[in-house]
Amino acid sequence: MTDTQTFSIASIPGDGIGGEVVTAGLRVLDTVAKLSDGGIAFDVTEYPWSSSYYLENGTYIPDGGLEELQKHDAIYFGAVGSAEVPDHTSLWGLRLAITQPFDQWANIRPVTFLPGVESPLRKADEADLDWIVVRENSEGEYAGMGGRNLSGRGPGNEVALQTSLHTEKGTERIIRFAFDLARTRPVKKVSSVTKSNAQQYGMVLWDEVFARVAADYPDVETESVLVDAMSAKFVLHPEQLSVVVASNLHADILSDLGSALAGSLGIAASANLNPEKRFPSMFEPVHGSAPDIAGQGVSNPIGAISSAALMLDDFGLHGEADEVRRAIEDVTAAGILPRDLGGDANTIEMTEAIVAQLEAIH
């Protein structure tokens, strides 16, 4: 009998479709544990922190909540967002209230093209397309710095300042992370994205740090592209991309574009990593709470299940992670697709198809 490796997971389903997609991902993890024959176990604790929790209690995360999360090996997150709470309140109340104190400074978002899924990028050979957006996740445009009512004058004269913070250390670590990631990939290339023609302080610092770090990785090809040009490149020349590194805001937008190009926001996975492993990392689908389809049981669970695969990678369970990804590909290739990808399988049917395939290939 082998020793069981046990991983402790904090699950935070959150709002809207968060609950159903997190349930789907946990069902897949359950299957991974079952197939390991006692080798792997996941110990899951659910936290009910959501917008309805906030409306009842006046806070998304109760006192001592972060200390509670800190005890786990990873956080599995659904979504946050509700019509009853302003978006910036819910985002800062729950998601950023975890990513910031837990120093999850690297956000990776693979753009994955699945077989059997139609994509707007018809021109390219889709099988050869896959790239990863690496997002600076701790500062930049989302540093939360600035203020309102700064004019000192009356109504109609309000001035608001939203400041971007770019530190040399924060910039360097995310760029190094991107280069290290590129070295693990078939195409060793890093594309750096800025808007340094218009933003002459932070973005120019970014360009300078990129050039300096690049010199340490002579085996990795590089390019620096403005964010507007990169948006066009995502559509017209995605075959030239491998690792794309960008600031908090730019990478946020580009990763949504990438997942839409791959077919739907519903398939995109994301990992918020604390690479030093001083704090647990957080895994979540890129999509939000999708209020338009919440409660109908038709959401696409692939983004959340792929995020669970990234969690398995983080646990060092690469073989298991690859099996989950293969099961997803086999299912879409067989034409079993959820509504957002043009099919008619509901959330549970998609999940069970992936579970059955995982059992078949294991």
Which residues make up the interface to Mg ion (CB under 5 A)?
A: 288
Among 93, 140, 263, 266, contact with ligand ATP (rule: CB under 6 A) = 266
Choose one: 49-57, 129-137, 139-147, 295-303; the region binding ligand ATP (CB under 6 A). 295-303
Q: Which does 107 bind (CB under 5 to 8 A by kind): Mg ion, ligand ATP, none?
A: none
8 A C-beta contact, residue 312 and residue 321: yes
Q: Which two tokens stand for residue 126?
A: 């889709």
What minimum distance in Å lies between the beta carbon of 134 and Mg ion?
20
Nearest distance in Å: CB 270, ligand ATP = 12
Apex 302 CA angle, 241 and 65, nearest 5: 100
Binding of residue 93 to ligand ATP (CB under 6 A): no
Spell out a b/e string for 143-182, using b for 16 or more CB atoms within 10 Å of the CB, else e. beeeeeeeeeeeeeeeeeeeebebeeebbbbbbbbbbebb
Q: Which residue is nearest to ligand ATP (CB)?
A: 288
Determine, following the binding rule CB under 6 A, whether residue 303 of this chain makes contact with ligand ATP: yes
Q: Rule CB under 6 A: is residue 293 a binding residue for ligand ATP? A: yes
Contact partner, 340, from ligand ATP, Mg ion, none, Cβ < 5-8 Å per class? ligand ATP
Our finding on whether 32 is near ligand ATP (CB under 6 A) is no
Indicate the residue among 171 and 300 with the shorter CB distance to ligand ATP. Answer: 300
Which one of Mg ion, ligand ATP, none interacts with residue 203, CB within 5 to 8 A by kind? none
Q: Mapping DSSP to helix (H, G, I), strand (E, B) and coil, where does residue 76 land? A: strand
Contact segment (CB under 6 A) with ligand ATP among 30-38, 53-61, 285-293, 314-322 equals 285-293
DSSP letter for 85, please. B
Give the DSSP letter string of 100-147: TTTT--EEEEEEEPPTT---S--SS-GGG-EEEEEEE-SSEEEEEEEE
- Output the CA–CA distances (angstroms, integers) from residue 235 to 37, 227, 331, 341, in the order listed: 44, 13, 26, 19
User: Would you say 270 and 284 are in contact if contact means Cβ atoms under 8 Å apart?
Assistant: yes
Q: In terms of residues, how long is the chain?
A: 362
Q: Which residue's entry shows tokens 């594309």?
A: 191
Of 186-205, which residues contact ligand ATP (CB under 6 A)?
none
Smallest distance, ligand ATP to C-beta of residue 317, A: 24
**Binding of ligand ATP by 300 (CB under 6 A):** yes
Where do contacts with ligand ATP occur on this chain (CB under 6 A)?
17, 21, 79, 81, 87, 265-266, 287-293, 299-300, 303, 340
